[in-house]
Structure 1
Amino acid sequence: MEKSKEPAEQLRIFAQYLRREERSRGTVEKYLRDASAFVRWLNGRPVTKEAVLLWRDDLLARGYAPVTVNSMLAALHALFCFAGWEECRVKYLKIQRRLFRDEARNLSRGEYARLIATAQKLGKERLALLLETMGATGIRVSEVKYITVEAAAAGQAEIALKGKLRTILIPAKLCRKLQRYARKQKNASGEIFLTRSGKSLSRKQIWSEMKGLCKYADVNPSKVFPHNLRHLFATVFYQIHRDIAGLADVLGHSSIETTRLYLAVSSTEQARRISQLRLIS
C-alpha cells in the first residue's frame, strides 16, 4: 500500500520528533542512518511490508550479521510507529542467545592499563583521563558530557537520559585528577572533556582517538571501543562484589537480564572453570 507522504519527507519530520523527545545523540544518529539506508534502497518505490521483507533479506545477502539486521529493523520500526505505518512492520530474525563472549573482543585489565599508559606517554592527557573516567565509572559514551567540574567537586554526576535520572558516583582519586585537569585547562565550570574550540567531544571523535592508540599500545583494535570500557567495569565490579543487582543499579539497567549479558565470559574461561570442578577421575 503506497503511503501518503514521501518517505524522505517523513524521515525529515521523524528527525525533528526524535530531537524534541530528547533522545540521545547516538540514538538519533543511528535511527536516522538506518532509516535513511532503507529509503535509499527503496529508490522511489512505495513503502510496503513486502519491501521491508525484501530489504531485510537483501541485508542478509550482503553479509550483515542477524543482530545488526535486527538493530536496523528496530530503527525502521520506530519510524513506522511515528508515521502510523505499523502494518509495514516485519518480524525480527530469531537469534540464539550467545552463551559466550567473543574472546577477540575481551579487553583485559592489563590492556586497559596499557592504553592509558600509552596515551600518557604520547602526551594525550585528555584521552588518558577520558579512558580512566569511562573505565572507573562505567558510563556510556553519551554520558561523558555529564562529567563536569561541578560533578568532580561533588563526587557524583546526575545523568538524565532516556527519560530516566540516575546518579554516577565518581571515585575520590578520579575526582582529584579531573579537578587538576580542569584547572590546567582553565576550565572553571561545565563539561571537562572538550575539544580545543570548547565543544563537546563527539562519539565519533572519542571512538577515533581510542582506535588511534591501538598500534602504539599493542592492543587489538577489535577490543578498543567506548562500550568495551563499560563491559570491563561491569566484569571487574562483579568479580569483586558478586552483586548483580547492585551492578544493575550502577549501570542504570532496568532489567538484571541486560546486566547478565555484560557478564558473559569467553568459552576459554568457561572451559577453565569447568576443569576446576575436578569431576573426572
Structure 2
Amino acid sequence: MRLYDFDASVENFLSYLLLERGLSPNTTAAYRRDLREWGSFCAGAGAPPLPPEQETLSLFQRHLSRGEKSPATKQRIIAALRTWMRYLEQEGEGGGDVRLPSLPGRKEGLPRILSEGEVDRLFQACEGAGPLELRDRALFETAYGCGLRAGELCGLRLGDVDFQAKVLRAFGKGEKERAIPFLGQVSERVAFYLEKGRPLLLKAPSDVLFLTRSGNPMKREDIWRTLRKRGAKAGIPASRLHPHVLRHSFASHLLRRGMDQRSLQELLGHSSIATTEKYLHFDLELRDVYDKAHPRA
C-alpha cells in the first residue's frame, strides 16, 4: 500500500478549499487545526494518517466520543475529516475503499440574544465625546443595525460604506459580498465617528473603518474585550455577551417584527435557509411590540 505525505496532502487540500471552493482563510485555518487532530492521533497510535484506514478511523471516533471536547467541536472535526477524505478520493490519493466516518450527534444550541432594552443600555454605556466612546457606539450600532459577524466588522473598509447610496458592503464567509441597508442611527453614528473620533485614532494611513486606541485595525478579540467592558457598565451579565450577540439580536428582533425568512437570509448572508430558521425557535421571553421592521431604523 502506497503511503502518501500527509502534511503535503493537507496543504493541497487547503489550497483547493481556498482557491477553488472560495472558502475564507479563517475557515481553511480551522480545517488545518481539525486535521491536525487526526494526524496527532495517528502518530500516537502508530498508524499512518494517509491513506486513512478503517480500523484507525473507528478508533479515532471512539477517542473523540470519550474526550472532553464539546459536541459541536467533535462534529466539526469529523466533518473536516470527511471532506478531506472525499477530496482524497477525487484526487486519487486513497480513501475510496473505506467508509466515511459518521457525524456524531449534536444538540443544536439556540443563539443567545439581548432584549431591546439591553441593546439600548449597551449603546448608552458608550456615551461620551472621546474617540473610543464614538468608535464603540458606531461599532455596536453597525453590528446590530446591519447584522454583521465580528469578522465582517473587522474587515470593513472606508470604501465599503456608501452614505449617498445608503448601502454598506460586507464580505462574509467565503468572501461572499452582500449589500445591506445603511440607514438611520447606524449611518448617523458612523458618520459622527468618522468626523470626530477616527481622526484621533489614526496614527498612519489606513482605510480600515474601526481602529484601536493605537491606530491598528480592530480584531475579533478587540471587539470581544470592548463588548465585555461596555456590557459590564450597562449591567448586562457576561454570560449574555459574545461577539455575535448583536447579530443574533438583530435577526431575532426583525423576525418578531414580521420580516420574512428569505429577506432575513439575504441580510445575514446565510447560504442555507435552515441556518436562518433557527431564529424562529427562540423562547420568546420578551414579546416586545414593534411598529417598524427594526428598532433603530
Q: Shorter-chain TM-score category?
A: 0.7 to 0.9
> Is the contact made by 1:66 and 1:95 (CA closer than 8 Å) also made in structure 2?
yes
Secondary structure (helix, strand or coil) at the match of 2:244 reads helix
What's the RMSD between the two structures over aligned residues?
3.2
Secondary structure (helix, strand or coil) at the match of 2:169 reads strand
Whether 1:217 aligns to 2:227 is no
Alignment counterpart, residue 78 of structure 2, candidates 57, 62, 73: 73
Whether 1:235 aligns to 2:242 is no
How far did residue 25 of structure 1 move?
A: 3.5
Secondary structure (helix, strand or coil) at the match of 1:241 reads coil
Whether 1:156 aligns to 2:156 is no
> Is the contact made by 2:160 and 2:169 (CA closer than 8 Å) also made in structure 1?
no
Matches within 5 A, 1:97-108: 101=110, 105-108=112-115
Q: Can you give the 5+ residue segments of structure 2 that lack an aligned partner in the other structure?
A: 288-297
> Is the contact made by 1:67 and 1:95 (CA closer than 8 Å) also made in structure 2?
yes
1:120-161 CA distances to partner (integer Å, 9 max, x unpaired)? 469544233212211111122232223535514232123444
Query: Partner residue of 1:39?
Result: 39
Matches within 5 A, 1:73-152: 73-84=78-89, 85-87=94-96, 89-95=100-106, 101=110, 105-120=112-127, 123-144=132-153, 145-146=155-156, 148-152=158-162
> Is the contact made by 1:248 and 1:259 (CA closer than 8 Å) also made in structure 2?
yes
Secondary structure (helix, strand or coil) at the match of 1:71 reads helix
Q: Can you give the 5+ residue segments of structure 1 that lack an aligned partner in the other structure?
A: 271-281
Alignment counterpart, residue 65 of structure 2, candidates 56, 60, 70: 60
- In 2, Cα distance between the equivalents of 1:80 and 1:263? 35
- In 2, Cα distance between the equivalents of 1:173 and 1:134? 12
- In 1, Cα distance between the equivalents of 2:186 and 2:252? 20
How far did residue 230 of structure 1 move?
A: 1.6
Q: Which amino acid aligns with 1:64?
A: K
Whether 1:10 aligns to 2:19 is no
Query: Partner residue of 2:207?
Result: 190
1:146-199 CA distances to partner (integer Å, 9 max, x unpaired)? 353551423212344436442111123322221221233237983311345654
How far did residue 110 of structure 1 move?
A: 2.4
Q: 1:216 to 1:42 in 2, by over 3 A?
A: farther
Query: Partner residue of 1:51?
Result: 56
Q: Which amino acid aligns with 1:92?
A: L
Greater percentage in helix:
1
How far did residue 238 of structure 1 move?
A: 1.0
- In 2, Cα distance between the equivalents of 1:263 and 1:181? 34
Secondary structure (helix, strand or coil) at the match of 1:192 reads coil
Q: 1:11 to 1:198 in 2, by over 3 A?
A: farther
Q: How many residues align?
A: 265
TM-score, normalised relative to structure 2: 0.74
How far did residue 69 of structure 1 move?
A: 1.2
Secondary structure (helix, strand or coil) at the match of 1:166 reads strand
Secondary structure (helix, strand or coil) at the match of 1:207 reads helix
> Is the contact made by 1:149 and 1:189 (CA closer than 8 Å) also made in structure 2?
no
> Is the contact made by 2:160 and 2:170 (CA closer than 8 Å) also made in structure 1?
no
> Is the contact made by 2:122 and 2:231 (CA closer than 8 Å) also made in structure 1?
yes
- In 1, Cα distance between the equivalents of 2:25 and 2:65? 27
Out of 179-188 and 58-67, give the one that drifted further: 179-188
How far did residue 4 of structure 1 move?
A: 0.9
Q: Which amino acid aligns with 2:161?
A: A
